[in-house]
């Protein structure tokens, strides 16, 4: 059953069909929120809000884009709204990035040598320090759930602009990594 | 490390930052919230209504207090002095006996009545209540006489001034 058919079922009064849509797209929606917020708990919370909002506004879905793109555009706006909140920024400033780093350290395989692990950790740190627009574009592309054109449509910006942001992010990172190499 | 290695390094680091999975409860939580769509809207509405009602009550109370309800003051005075019918009689009561007014506040001037919200309102003490202030009986003042020495006046002595007699000469026709 396609996404469009599930949408029609939900519109016909079957909320269980929306659960199937959530199951299909929850990873992409969650990662989009994670790319913006950089925090697992906040990303989960915003993804939940996005799905509820999408359900309530399902009558506004016209089918111009895919259901996944439409949902990512919703979670994108919600995540940006949360990131702009002063309280959220203050909380992020006081908390450390130890959570993500500890998880990533645990995922290192025995084959990873120490130097590679240090390099990857340094790149992660540089990615976090990128300007938000560049970092968002780079991380959303790395997630691989949507093409750059679809991501640009979800962010309501031209595809060339999105591609330029990804390219700019890579160039900045390479400039900073030259001394490491 | 060449460009390709740097690209791989960036891709790997970015993937590690983003390749997370949502919790398995996400679908169930969303489904539960969808089944009860407006559960949280009701308390917000109730709290909002309660807050609005409280603000409205406070505003009305302040407005009523600032109105300086003349009718209520007059009604209270009327209750305290049931025989008094005119405002002048209310504010200028006469106390039989020693002729002194026990206590009565001067009525507010007409100018003050023109601005009733800010003007201090007179407080009228009922006249039929017994006064707790005893009447004063002042003793007559005794003025002691002061003995002063009589003033001495001295006559001024003016010396005589001798002056030559004036002679008036007739005017001549010529001016030589």
Q: Which residue of A has its CA nearest to B28?
A: A19
DSSP secondary structure of A34-75: HHHH--HHHHHHHHHHHHHHHHHTGGG--SSS-HHHHHHHHH
**CA B88 – CA B105 distance, rounded (Å):** 11
What's the pTM value of the predicted model, to 2 decimals?
0.57
The answer to whether residues B1 and A120 touch, using CB atoms and an 8 Å cutoff, is no
- Percent residues over pLDDT 70 in chain B: 51
**CA A136 – CA A32 distance, rounded (Å):** 8
Quick one: pLDDT band at residue B135, thresholds 50, 70, 90? confident
Measured in Å, how far apart are chain B's first and last C-alpha atoms? 141
Average pLDDT over residues B156-166: 76
Task: Tell me what the pLDDT averaged over chain A comes to.
Answer: 86
Q: What is the pLDDT, as a whole number, of residue B146?
A: 79
Task: Tell me what the pLDDT averaged over chain B comes to.
Answer: 69
pLDDT in tens, A11-23: 998 888 999 999 9
Average pLDDT over residues A35-61: 92
**pLDDT at B131 exceeding the cut of 90:** no
Q: What is the pLDDT, as a whole number, of residue B119?
A: 53
* Chain B interface mutation, best of A102, A116, A143, highest count of B Cβ atoms under 10 Å: A143
**Looking at beta carbons, which residues of chain A come within 8 Å of B19?**
31, 142-143
**Looking at beta carbons, which residues of chain B come within 8 Å of A143?**
18-19
Across the interface, whether the CB atoms of B13 and A177 are under 8 A apart is answered no
ipTM for the predicted complex: 0.79
Residues ≥6 apart with Cβ < 8 Å to B13: A120, A121, A123, A124, A127
**Looking at beta carbons, which residues of chain B come within 8 Å of A18?**
30-31, 34
């Amino acid at each position: 059953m396609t996404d469009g058919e599930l949408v029609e079922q939900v519109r016909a009064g079957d909320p269980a069909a929306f659960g199937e849509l959530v199951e299909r797209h929850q990873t992409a929606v969650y990662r989009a929120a994670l790319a913006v917020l950089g925090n697992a708990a906040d990303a989960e919370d915003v993804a939940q809000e996005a799905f509820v909002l999408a359900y309530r506004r399902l009558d506004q879905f016209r089918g111009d884009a895919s259901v996944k793109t439409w949902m990512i555009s919703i979670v994108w706006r919600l995540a940006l709204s949360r990131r702009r909140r002063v309280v959220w920024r203050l909380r992020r400033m006081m908390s450390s990035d130890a959570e993500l780093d500890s998880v990533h350290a645990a995922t290192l395989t025995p084959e990873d040598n120490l130097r590679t692990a240090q390099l990857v950790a340094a790149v992660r740190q540089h990615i976090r320090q990128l300007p938000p627009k560049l970092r968002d574009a780079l991380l959303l592309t790395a997630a691989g759930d949507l093409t750059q054109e679809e991501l640009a449509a979800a962010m309501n910006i031209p595809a060339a602009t999105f591609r330029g942001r990804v390219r700019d992010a890579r160039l900045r990172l390479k400039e900073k990594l030259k001394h490491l190499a | 490390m060449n460009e390709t290695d740097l690209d791989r390094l960036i891709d790997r680091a970015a993937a590690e930052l983003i390749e997370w999975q949502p919790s398995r409860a996400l679908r169930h939580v969303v489904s539960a919230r969808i089944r009860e769509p407006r559960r949280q809207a009701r308390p917000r509405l109730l709290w909002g209504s309660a807050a609005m009602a409280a603000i409205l009550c406070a505003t009305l109370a302040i407005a009523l207090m600032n109105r300086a309800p003349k009718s209520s003051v007059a009604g209270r005075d009327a209750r305290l002095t049931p025989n008094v019918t005119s405002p002048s009689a209310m504010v200028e009561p006469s106390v039989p006996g020693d002729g002194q007014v026990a206590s009565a506040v001067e009525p507010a001037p007409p100018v003050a009545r023109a601005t009733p919200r800010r003007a201090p309102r007179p407080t009228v003490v009922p006249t039929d209540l017994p006064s707790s202030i005893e009447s004063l009986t002042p003793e007559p003042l005794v003025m002691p006489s002061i003995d002063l020495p009589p003033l001495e006046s001295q006559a001024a002595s003016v010396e005589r001034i001798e002056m030559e007699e004036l002679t008036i000469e007739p005017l001549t026709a010529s001016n030589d």
